[in-house]
Structure 1
Amino acid sequence: MSKRFKGIPVSPGVVIGKVYLFETYKPRIRRQTDRTRRIEEEVKLFESAVRETHQEIEKDIEENKKNAYKECADIFETHLLILNDPDYLTTKVIDKIRRRRMTAEYALREVLEGLTSKFIPVKTAHLREKETDIRDVGQRIFENLLNSKRASLMGFEEDVVVVAHSLAPSDTAQMCKERVIGFVTDVGSRTSHSAIMARALEIPAVVGLGDISAHIKRGDTIIIDGLHGEVIVNPTKEEIASYEKKRQEYFSFMASFDSLRDLPARTQDGYQVKIMANIEIQEEIRHARSHGAEGIGLYRTEFLFLNRLNLPSEKEQFEVYREVAQIYAPYPVVIRTLDIGGDKFVLSLLENPDEPNPFLGLRAIRLSLEHVDIFKKQLSAILRAGVYGNLKVMLPMITDIGEVIRAKEILQEVADDLRKRGISFDEDMEIGAMIETPSAALTADLLAKEVNFFSIGTNDLIQYALAIDRSNERVAHLYKPFHPAILRLIHSTIIAAHRWGRRVAMCGEMAANPLFTAVLIGLGLDEFSMSGVVIPGIKEVIRSISLVEAKDLADKALKLERADQVESLVKERLGKRLENIFGAIEEA
């Protein structure tokens, strides 16, 4: 009998294959040194293992750079930072060996447990990745110290789907690219290292499946649906046939996107909007371009700060922003300033990250205005990179016009300093505000006077307006984008912006869902921004409707009293066309 699991889709595609169950490496550890081995011999063994680990990581960096997997190489650069910082790991281990007469492996385990314990109180996705980095480096040292290697993901004679509790970067680095056709893990998130690797390798993957590895054995048949986060273990003949059809449809669908890539997002009666991409990591830049993005509507900069032990320098940020500006020139790239807080933390910035309600705490623009020195470095890097393309700066989590005014004052201070030092920068860079709180939406007429554009972040806007924790499964059913309050907030924001001649974009999940596309066009949205892979599908929806039809649909939607009524209206009016494009509107 087949078993179904639901997780987080992190890399699209559908595969059917045989399971390779990858088991976690567990080193055998002695506590005290043997009488035949002296303390300094333990120190030398540890130092030798560190050198071997250093060579392995350098090899991984070189290999990934050679294969153009820049983001994978960046992960291993972080590992090298951990290893090379004597005060962080190696000195502590050696000190324990000498002071407490421990074996090298026991001392290493104690130090690793001490380092990772700080991440326990705040179990966010990004902090789990920091913990993963530290543990992965430690695991490599263990292997070299004990001369005991973990199971390999190489040398397969047939195609396999890897199933594991978790996959460390060093696991995926030595993964057989030709034979591993997909993987699933018990833990992980969209920004986890295994997810990054999957997207870089362009193989389907689903993570965050709970305990799937406990319900599966090597040789089982498995289906991965990397589009919807569904996994089926030991599927029936009917399920295999159904998903084989879906796999072929996905290939055909993706192939058909080539014809859409360079076509405008224009309705049948000539109304044109822009389709932009949301990106978080460098690997997504060229992927978005290949899917037909007309620029970057949201460049999340948190990844620069979160996947490391220290804060990025202005120079490092400048080089990253310059690269994306050059790749997309002359198309626009909207860089959102640091949006740390909520479910994302940088321990070096937050003395007490375990806030009782982090989503209402010190986050986003509030954090930047408190740590002005860090904010100035980021703004300086963005302004300098602006001369290489068409960059725009966007302020997150605005709740009050005073935040915008203060941020503009700081931006002016940075510009004055660059001018004084004779450093070239974009003198006319546009500044925008994210509309993701009810207070921002309700005062959009005031904010519009101070900025050049808006971008509506529907994920947070819906959460705050409806008092819904979108990560709480018990109330997830109350998270309703078609709620009359949400439609009215979006509509009033667009009207206020247009009165001041400001364009309005949307970068939340609503923009990426075809169910909402026609209504949003009817409400007057100017730009859509979404994950690159869904751009062609949304473009196809836009090209299948007329502006007249969209406006009529939006007008009727605004008069309805319940979200389910709006959804029924849209499905009644557009369902058939959406089914033709996506197979089924629910799967879109």
Structure 2
Amino acid sequence: MRRVLTGTSAARGMALGRARLVQPSQISIDHRPLPDGEVEVEVERLHSAMQAARDELRELRGKLQDTLPREVGEFIDAHALLLNDEELQHGLDRLIRERNLRASAALKAEGDRLGEVFEAMDDPYLRSRREDVDQVISRVLAALHRQTSREERKIASRSGQILVADTIAPADMAHYSGHGLLGVIGVAGSTYSHSAILARSLNLPMLVGTTEALSSISDEDLVLLDGENGEVVVHPTAQDLARYRAWQKEAAREGRRLAALATAPTRTVDEVDIRLFANAELPADVAQARALGASGVGLYRTEFLFLRRKTLPDEDEQFAAYRDLVLGMGGLPVTIRTLDLGADKADSAGLSLRGEDNPALGVRGVRLSLRYPAVFATQMRAILRAAAYGPVRILVPMITQAEEMQAVRTLMELCARELAHDGHETVDGLELGAMIEVPAAAISVHAILEAADFLAIGTNDLAQYVLAADRNNDALGTLYDPLQPALLRLIGHVIHASHRAGKPVSLCGEIAGDEAFTALLMALGLTDFSMHPGQLLRVRDRISGLDRKRLLSLRSSLMRAHTREQVEALLDGLAEPKRLAEPCPDTLD
């Protein structure tokens, strides 16, 4: 019988396929007491399952190495660390030996215990890591299931399927996408989670918050996933299928229309040119950016050079990667961001740091670079050498105060002198920019601008710091909202200050590539966007229908808005701009 379930669209599009449920409860938990004589056999069975899960992650890492987005690699590494945690292993062994639990029941009990520990933590970032625990436990449970059943349910070996799960790890989504995955339905999740961002980059329709999915959908059910309207149709009718076919035809026409925009200028209705740059970290990203008419690379992530190895990359290895990037863009400007790692990932990159209770607020970005000046100098020298092959700018992450920029500039100038002394060709006047993702830097942006040549606003981190909300925590989905007036006021303040100082400013967070926010950002004065290459054409198309002068007339009202509803009304034109309260005494502008 036809049923319609509703959710929140995290990635647009439609898909028709057979449902494949992925959930711990799909695998039966054996709660029967374990006979004493079978204890050690069960311990070995658990150890074998955990090793199988480790091998699976290692194989997945290897298969996806050349196409792996940075965030996906980080999640694989985090899960591997959990699987190798001795405390987890000992805790599971004790449950089997001392309480005579079977392996599946021990995994369930330990997963629930750890979940409660994470849920009780005050810090929202650490609370959100419960999802990692759940996904690791599910992976080991699946390995146990495969050991005891001849019917291995491997999603990757089947085509034309739609995953239905509580949540899905980014690593699994990346893997399944190469094996016929058509879309994802999540019971939980956030539209700004890593998985949602990945789904959009892979062009996979995805719904989150579809609370009844696991109870209302069975394996092999035919489902129509509608990411355009935020609904799932279980057992679609002929009328539903006709609607899907009509959408397919329209999507094909739209795809051909957008493809023609690859060589078109990015220009508003009132003839103002806007620059669209690409975020990149892999050669495929660079090639796609060039093919789709990007104005250059606005953010090149260098972490992949460090995270995929156990030792630090030397100067020549880094130089070769940066040089190829510059040459690949054929004379278009390239902005290379210096190493952006924290204590939670530094060890895997060959840097030894003490563990931190809250890595998101710890030694990361420029703080890490300045703590290891020799490592930083090696990277800086490699970038400066690559700059001889084309236009390069250097972007420094996690800047909090102007003194950090001054320290980086001093090191850059020292490296340039050393390179010239060693006979390398160098470029004078290389621009050095600050990434604005810390609230303190946004508030005191005038001081930062005195030390920086340009700015790039990183809204992903800025939003979660300003709102004290982790974007991967679905319980905070309504709070982590780019339309929050406090966040908009900070973004507008940074853009306005940069323009007054006569220095370029771009925005390279996730919202830069979401055409739903294009008008808003232009109304705040933004003219330089940087996004995933796959989002370039849609944003260019959106800009072609906007009147910049009219949008700018909304800026003062947007900066005075008190609620999300006021922001939406201004942008949608659903109501005449209401007379809002005068700016508070502490208004930034």
Fold-level similarity (TM above 0.5)? yes
Match of 1:15 in 2: 15
**Whole-Å separation in 2 of the counterparts to 1:80 and 1:522:** 39
SS in 2 for 1:297: strand
Distance in 2, matches of 1:124 and 1:152, equals: 32
Alignment of 1:10-409 (within 5 A): 12-24=12-24, 69=67, 124=125, 142=144, 150-153=152-155, 156=158, 159-167=160-168, 175=176, 179-186=180-187, 202-206=203-207, 212-226=213-227, 231-233=232-234, 245-268=246-269, 270-279=271-280, 284-301=285-302, 313-315=312-314, 321=322, 324-339=325-340, 345-346=344-345, 348=347, 349=353, 351-354=355-358, 364-370=365-371, 372=373, 375-376=376-377, 378-380=379-381, 382-383=383-384, 385-386=386-387, 390-409=391-410
Q: Which residue of 2 aligns with 1:551?
A: 549
Q: Is the 8 A contact 1:314 1:381 kept in 2?
A: no
> 1:542 maps to which residue?
543
- Unaligned segments of structure 1, at least 5 residues: 576-588
Amino acid at match of 1:562: A
**Are 2:8 and 2:230, in contact at CA under 8 Å, matched by a contact in 1?**
yes
Aligned to 1:579: none
Cα pair 1:136 1:168 within 8 Å, conserved: no
SS at match of 1:493: helix
TM-fit CA distance, 1:259: 0.9
Cα shift at 1:217:
1.5
Distance 1:225 1:389 in 2: 45
- Determine if contact 2:463/2:482 at 8 Å carries over to the other structure: no
Measured in 1, the distance between the counterparts of 2:253 and 2:425 equals 47
The structure-2 alpha-carbon separation of the partners of 1:146 and 1:482, relative to structure 1 and needing over 3 Å to count, comes to closer
Relative to structure 1, the CA distance from residue 565 to residue 176 in structure 2 (aligned partners, 3 Å threshold; closer, same or farther) is: closer
CA pair 372-290 structure 1, distance change in 2 beyond 3 A = same
Q: Does the C-alpha gap of structure 1 residues 516 and 573 become closer, same or farther in structure 2, counting only changes over 3 Å?
A: farther
Conserved? CA contact 1:483–1:562, under 8 Å: no
Matches within 5 A, 1:354-503: 354=358, 364-370=365-371, 372=373, 375-376=376-377, 378-380=379-381, 382-383=383-384, 385-386=386-387, 390-415=391-416, 429-436=430-437, 440-441=441-442, 443-458=444-459, 469=469, 472-473=476-477, 475=479, 479-480=483-484, 485-486=489-490, 489-490=493-494, 492-498=496-502, 502-503=503-504
Shift in CA distance, 311/406, structure 1 to aligned 2, threshold 3 Å? farther
Report the CA distance between 1:260 and its aligned residue.
0.6
**Which residue matches 1:583?**
none
State the percentage of identical aligned residues.
Answer: 27
Matched to 1:353, the amino acid is D
Deviation at 1:149, TM superposition (A): 6.7
CA contact (8 A) 1:165 1:211 kept: no
Q: Deviations over 1:213-265 (max 9, x none)?
A: 23322344433345686545556777666565444433322221111111111
CA distance in 1, matches of 2:336, 2:171: 31
Describe how 1:504-523 pairs up with structure 2 within 5 A.
Answer: 504-508=505-509, 511-514=512-515, 517=518, 521=522
* C-alpha separation in 2, matches of 1:510 and 1:52: 39
1:551 maps to a residue whose letter is K
Q: Which residue of 1 aligns with 2:561?
A: 562
- State the one-letter code of the partner of 1:14: M
Partners of 1:221 and 1:235 within 8 A in 2:
yes
AA of the residue aligned to 2:19: V
8 Å contact from structure 2 (residues 442, 490) kept in 1: no
**Matches of 2:32 and 2:222, distance apart in 1:** 39
| CA shift in 2, pair 1:320/1:195, >3 Å | farther
- The separation in 1 between residues aligned to 2:278 and 2:184, in whole angstroms, is 26
Q: For 1:51 and 1:464, how far apart are their aligned partners in 2?
A: 38
Q: Which amino acid aligns with 1:19?
A: A
Q: 1:88, 1:370 → 2: CA distance?
A: 28
Superposition RMSD in Å: 5.8
> Deviation at 1:289?
4.4
Q: CA deviation at 1:400?
A: 2.4
Cα deviation, 1:524-573, whole Å, max 9, x if unaligned, reads: 5441223333322322233335xxx5235414542675366665454449
Contact 1:507 1:530 in 2 (8 A): yes
How far apart are 1:193 and its partner, in Å? 8.4
Distance 1:469 1:82, change over 3 A: closer
Q: Does the 8 Å CA contact 1:321/1:381 hold for their aligned counterparts?
A: yes
Tell me the SS of whatever aligns to 1:266.
coil
Alignment CA distance shift 1:219-1:418 (3 Å):
same
Cα separation, partners in 2 of 1:53 and 1:213, compared to 1, 3 Å: closer
- Is this contact kept in 2: 1:33–1:103, CA < 8 A? no
How does the TM-score come out when normalised to structure 1?
A: 0.68
CA-to-partner distance for each residue in 1:340-398, whole Å, 9 max, x for gaps? 57xx953854633248xx56x65544454445566455545544554565442212343
Alpha-carbon offset, residue 203 of structure 1: 3.8
Counterparts of 1:239 and 1:129 in 2: how far apart (Å)?
34
8 Å CA contact 1:61, 1:77 repeated in 2: no
CA deviation after TM superposition for structure 1 residue 444, in Å: 4.2
Q: Does the C-alpha gap of structure 1 residues 504 and 2 become closer, same or farther in structure 2, counting only changes over 3 Å?
A: same
For 1:492, the aligned partner's letter is: H
Q: Secondary structure at the match of 2:529?
A: strand
Distance verdict in 2 for CA 1:48–1:432, change over 3 Å? same
What is the number of equivalent residue pairs in this alignment? 553
Residue pair 1:313, 1:377 contacting (<8 A) in 2 also? no
Mean CA deviation greater in 56-65 or 439-448: 56-65
Residue in 2 aligned with 1:582?
none
**Preserved CA contact (<8 Å) 1:119 1:131:** no
